[in-house]
Structure 1
Amino acid sequence: MASTDTTAKAKPDGHDLAGLEAGLDALDAVQVKRTPFTQVLLHKVLPPVSAVVLVLAVWKILVLAEVTDDYKLPDPSAVWHSLTELWVQGTLLDIVWTSVSRGLLGFAAALALGTPLGLLVARVRFVRAALGPILSGLQSLPSVAWVPAAVIWLGITDSAMYAVILLGAVPSIANGLVSGIDQVPPLYLRAGRTIGATGARGAWHILLPAALPGYLAGLKQGWAFSWRSLMAAELIASSPDLGLGLGQFLENSRTDSDMPGVLLGIFLILFVGIAIDLIVFSPLERRVLRTRGLATR
Structure 2
Amino acid sequence: MKKIAFYILLIIIWELVYRLGVDVFKVWKAYSFPSPLNVLKSIYVLMEEKILWIAVLTSMKRLLIGYAISLVVGLALGLVIVRYKYIDENLTPLILGLQTLPSVCWIPFAILWYGISEESIIFVIAMGSMFAISIATESAIKNIQPLYTKAARTMGAKGMKLYFNVTLPAALPTIVSGLKQGWSFAWRALISGEMISATKGLGHVLMVGRDLADIGQVVAVMLIIIALGLLLDKAVFGKIEASIRQRWGLEANR
TM over 0.5: yes
Alpha-carbon distance in 2 for matches of 1:292, 1:146: 39
Instruction: State the one-letter code of the partner of 1:125.
Output: K
Secondary structure at the aligned position of 1:266 is classed as: helix
State the partner residue of 2:205.
Answer: 249
Alpha-carbon distance in 1 for matches of 2:33, 2:62: 31
State the partner residue of 1:261.
Answer: 217
Given candidates 143, 151, 155, the residue that maps to 2:103 is 143
Q: Give the CA deviation at 1:153.
A: 1.7
Gaps of 5+ in 1: 1-41
Q: Give the CA deviation at 1:222.
A: 0.5
CA deviation profile, 1:81-137 (whole Å, cap 9, x unmatched): 111122222332221111112111211111111111111101210010111111111
Task: Judge conservation of contact 1:192–1:198 (CA < 8 Å) in 2.
Answer: no
Given candidates 167, 171, 174, the residue that maps to 1:211 is 171
Alpha-carbon distance in 2 for matches of 1:168, 1:92: 25
Alpha-carbon distance in 2 for matches of 1:204, 1:51: 45
Alpha-carbon distance in 2 for matches of 1:153, 1:141: 19
After superposition, residues 67-146 of structure 1 pair within 5 angstroms as 67-146=27-106
Is 1:62 equivalent to 2:17 in the alignment? yes
Between the two proteins, what is the percent identity of the paired residues? 34
Instruction: State the one-letter code of the partner of 2:240.
Output: L
Task: Judge conservation of contact 1:197–1:206 (CA < 8 Å) in 2.
Answer: no
Task: Judge conservation of contact 1:188–1:206 (CA < 8 Å) in 2.
Answer: yes
Is 1:288 equivalent to 2:244 in the alignment? yes
Instruction: State the one-letter code of the partner of 2:13.
Output: V
Instruction: State the one-letter code of the partner of 1:82.
Output: S
Q: Give the CA deviation at 1:192.
A: 4.4
Alpha-carbon distance in 1 for matches of 2:5, 2:111: 42
Instruction: State the one-letter code of the partner of 2:37.
Output: S
Task: Judge conservation of contact 1:143–1:232 (CA < 8 Å) in 2.
Answer: yes
Alignment: residue pair count: 247
Alpha-carbon distance in 2 for matches of 1:51, 1:111: 36
CA deviation profile, 1:230-280 (whole Å, cap 9, x unmatched): 111111223x3xxx1000000011111111111111111111111121111
Instruction: State the one-letter code of the partner of 1:52.
Output: Y
Task: Judge conservation of contact 1:95–1:246 (CA < 8 Å) in 2.
Answer: yes
Alpha-carbon distance in 2 for matches of 1:169, 1:61: 39
Instruction: State the one-letter code of the partner of 2:11.
Output: L
Alpha-carbon distance in 1 for matches of 2:83, 2:212: 53
State the partner residue of 1:15.
Answer: none
The structure having more radius of gyration, on CA atoms, is 1
After superposition, residues 235-246 of structure 1 pair within 5 angstroms as 235-238=195-198, 240=199, 244-246=200-202
Gaps of 5+ in 2: none
Alpha-carbon distance in 2 for matches of 1:203, 1:272: 36
Alpha-carbon distance in 1 for matches of 2:7, 2:108: 36
Task: Judge conservation of contact 1:197–1:205 (CA < 8 Å) in 2.
Answer: no
Alpha-carbon distance in 1 for matches of 2:147, 2:214: 60
Task: Judge conservation of contact 1:172–1:222 (CA < 8 Å) in 2.
Answer: yes
Secondary structure at the aligned position of 1:74 is classed as: coil
Secondary structure at the aligned position of 1:188 is classed as: helix
Q: Give the CA deviation at 1:187.
A: 4.1
TM-score (norm 1): 0.77
TM-score (norm 2): 0.90
Q: CA RMSD, aligned part only? A: 1.8
Task: Judge conservation of contact 1:121–1:132 (CA < 8 Å) in 2.
Answer: yes
